[in-house]
Structure 1
Amino acid sequence: MRVIVVGAGEVGSNIAESLDDDHHVVIIDTDSERIEAVTYSHDVLAIEGDGTSIGTLEEAGIEDADLVIASTDVDETNIVVCGAAKAVGAPFTIARIKKTNLLRTWEQSKGAFGVDFMVCTDLQTAAAIVRIAGLPGARDVDTFAGGLVQMAEFEVESASPIAGETVSEADRYESLTFAAILRGDDIIVPRGDTVIRAGDDVVVIGSEESVRAFAGSLTPAPTLEEAREVVIVGGSEIGYQTARLFEEQGLEPRLIERDSDRARDLAERLPGTLVLESDATDIDFLVREHVDESDIVVAALESDERNLLVSLLAKRLGVERTIGIVESGEYVDLFETVGIDIGVNPRLVTSEEITRFTREQQTENVAMLESDRAEVLEIEIDSDSVLFETRIQDAIADLPDGVVVGAITRAGELITPRGETVVEGGDHVVVFVDTRVLDVVTAAL
């Protein structure tokens, strides 16, 4: 497939990196330094030029393009790119946008602007925050098979009850599979005698009840249903969307916004949210408003440094869990080390969503872990699959290392897979796959 990506920033570069192994990728940007950087770092054709220009698109081979992804930082530019691509070719077009009003307009008139699929950065980021907040201690969460199956990634701290245990000892839940252990740069497929170490990230797949029970054993933090106090700091669009989604979950969050006009507007649009007008970096205000009693604080200001500061203040006051927006992807690990429990990078969330959409043509659902070091796939089994009417242990023996069948759903029922389990046609299997063997595995499944 020929893919044209317009915009070689963090989003475009991540998308190109995730697609260049399987597709012929062309990336366009007006910035010569970005073009030079992506030329050396990715196996793509990089073109310096304006993606809204017909001439540039023709140079990129628009007449043969199957997919055009517009991922610049300007919404209007991305929409124009898609319209221009449709004017001279027939590719499927994806536009990255930030303004939710553009998304709503497009949703009410599918195909508007020449855009076939639209990804809203702010809305996707807010959804990721709420998803992670819903499971104590989780670094990443996704659902499969219509909600029957949940995947979650947890960091094992030194005080964790499973640190030092074998997988067999830690596996105390009826419908749970330990899919992988991420240890430094290594991806370990766990066996019963594999020892879980402090500092490992553990990926589990199973029923929502089992995953929640496992999460509860790792941390005393409350689930979203149990949370009494959720505070959102910053009335940015991400902050607003996060509050709105929390309201949909039945919570009544508090939102702190410094600008009086914005605070008044948010109060009118969020009937279930208490909007407070103040500077959230004022520790006296935080104490006065009992922010220390909050279960979760979400830092959604428009500055990475201020989000870090708010998170540090919240932790100092005794808040159990902080989730912060980190716009600069290279700062996520640093900020998580010094003060934010979970850092959410909007550009990475967006690039993963776009990449996920391109992969869903081959699978039912896809989740990417650790910047696409591994993927969790949902696949419907047919007669061409190596799993068809075969015991899992026999099928896995014919596949490369780095594959774990985490769950099976059959006629709406969840089956916890074991080595002797026979997979039937029509089953949906949720599989953990090391990205290094992804092509071979997806072809076999």
Structure 2
Amino acid sequence: MSKQKKPAGGLNIIIVGCGKVGTTLVEQLVKEGHDITIVDKNAKKIQELSSLYDIMGIVGNGASFSVQQDAGIENADLIIAVTESDELNLLCCTLAKRVAKCSAIARVRTPDYSKEIVYLREKLGLAMVINPELEASREASRILCLPTALEVNTFANGQAELIKYKIPEGNPLVGTTIAELSRKTATSLLICAVEREGEIYIPSGDFTMKKNDVISFCTQRNFSRTFFEDISVKTNQVKNTMIIGGGKAAYYLAKRL
């Protein structure tokens, strides 16, 4: 199969596993200009993806040394293992780290392993461990705890939140400048950006907020609810929840709730 030329600044990346996550990674990383090689036991998936994106495809077991050699592991900058098997993903990355100097990312979804993520990452030398079900549960729990917000993102190991909120009519924020905000709330926060009629503003102290503005603000995790209370907005925190389904995502969500 033909292989696209590596653009300047692009990385040589091997993706093991061509399921939904692997396919999404291929689509995104090709757009970013990286040189992609895919590995999977399913010849049909390899044929479809390699033809669609003009990338190299290898049919075989990604945890096999010979298969990794065929995929060019010696010259790879990164290997991402996202098969359905956690054990296979860890083995792929472990082998790659032994035979090459590339970085490695493994998808690990099993709850038993999720308790040992830090240990596995350090001992196996992984750059990152991804768990889509765990991330989905975190997002769901954030929304359930603060449904008033349009979007809630956490960073700094969960100690801070970046929250997006649309200002409704009659809200105390309407007609308030950024400088005046400190007098209406005792919460320490930073208004990072304001979206208004398709335009994005980085507000200064004299910026006046209006109805239907979408503000993005950053604050400590425990302060966001206090801020909404200060501006007379009910947070409507969910108290009772029914979870339908008993998969990994449901397990993680129930544990967090």
TM-score (normalizing by structure 2): 0.67
Q: Which runs of 5+ in 1 are unaligned?
A: 40-45, 247-445
Q: Give the letter aligned to residue 150 of structure 1.
A: E
Q: Give the letter aligned to residue 153 of structure 2.
A: V
CA shift, 1:82, in A, is: 1.8
Correspondence list, 1:117-132, <5 A: 117-132=128-143
Question: In the alignment, does 2:80 pair up with 1:69?
Answer: yes
2:171 to 161, 171, 175: 161
Aligned to 2:36: 26
CA contact (8 A) 1:8 1:35 kept: no
Question: In the alignment, does 2:234 pair up with 1:220?
Answer: yes
> Alpha carbons of 1:159 and 1:5: their partners in 2 closer, same or farther (altered >3 Å)?
farther
Aligned to 2:218: 205
Q: What secondary structure sits across from 1:168 in the alignment?
A: coil
CA shift, 1:100, in A, is: 1.7
Q: What secondary structure sits across from 2:69 in the alignment?
A: helix
Looking at both structures, which has the greater relative contact order when contacts are Cα pairs under 8 Å and sequence separation is at least 6?
2
% identical aligned pairs: 24
Aligned to 1:189: 202
**Larger deviation, residues 8-17 vs 118-127:** 8-17
Aligned to 2:162: 151
Aligned to 1:95: 106
C-alpha distance in 1 between matches for 2:142 and 2:73:
37
C-alpha distance in 1 between matches for 2:233 and 2:252:
27
Q: What secondary structure sits across from 1:86 in the alignment?
A: helix
> Alpha carbons of 1:211 and 1:228: their partners in 2 closer, same or farther (altered >3 Å)?
closer
Aligned to 1:245: 256
> Alpha carbons of 1:162 and 1:127: their partners in 2 closer, same or farther (altered >3 Å)?
same
Q: What secondary structure sits across from 1:243 in the alignment?
A: helix
Q: What secondary structure sits across from 1:231 in the alignment?
A: coil
Q: Which runs of 5+ in 2 are unaligned?
A: 1-10
Q: 1:7-41 CA distances to partner (integer Å, 9 max, x unpaired)?
A: 455534555676678884424154233334445xx
Question: In the alignment, does 2:190 pair up with 1:180?
Answer: no
**Whose strand proportion is higher, 1 or 2?**
1
CA contact (8 A) 1:100 1:120 kept: no
Correspondence list, 1:8-407, <5 A: 9-12=19-22, 15=25, 24-30=34-40, 31=45, 32-39=47-54, 46-50=55-59, 52=62, 53-104=64-115, 117-138=128-149, 139-144=151-156, 147=159, 149-154=160-165, 156=166, 158-159=168-169, 161=171, 165=175, 167-168=177-178, 171=181, 172-174=184-186, 175-182=188-195, 187-191=200-204, 192-193=206-207, 195-198=209-212, 201-208=214-221, 210-216=223-229, 217=231, 219-223=233-237, 228-246=239-257
CA shift, 1:118, in A, is: 2.6
> Alpha carbons of 1:33 and 1:130: their partners in 2 closer, same or farther (altered >3 Å)?
same
> Alpha carbons of 1:162 and 1:74: their partners in 2 closer, same or farther (altered >3 Å)?
farther
CA contact (8 A) 2:161 2:218 kept: yes
C-alpha distance in 2 between matches for 1:183 and 1:11:
34
C-alpha distance in 2 between matches for 1:163 and 1:196:
7
Q: What secondary structure sits across from 1:233 in the alignment?
A: coil
CA contact (8 A) 1:163 1:196 kept: yes
Aligned to 1:288: none
Aligned to 2:6: none
> Alpha carbons of 1:117 and 1:144: their partners in 2 closer, same or farther (altered >3 Å)?
closer
Question: In the alignment, does 2:16 pair up with 1:6?
Answer: yes
> Alpha carbons of 1:36 and 1:21: their partners in 2 closer, same or farther (altered >3 Å)?
closer
C-alpha distance in 2 between matches for 1:145 and 1:111:
17
Q: 1:193-221 CA distances to partner (integer Å, 9 max, x unpaired)?
A: 355453x5421013445532333447423
> Alpha carbons of 1:104 and 1:205: their partners in 2 closer, same or farther (altered >3 Å)?
closer
Aligned residues: 234
C-alpha distance in 2 between matches for 1:17 and 1:185:
27
Q: 1:411-440 CA distances to partner (integer Å, 9 max, x unpaired)?
A: xxxxxxxxxxxxxxxxxxxxxxxxxxxxxx
C-alpha distance in 2 between matches for 1:107 and 1:221:
34
CA shift, 1:141, in A, is: 2.6
C-alpha distance in 2 between matches for 1:91 and 1:55:
17
> Alpha carbons of 1:34 and 1:126: their partners in 2 closer, same or farther (altered >3 Å)?
same
C-alpha distance in 2 between matches for 1:89 and 1:128:
35
CA contact (8 A) 2:175 2:209 kept: yes
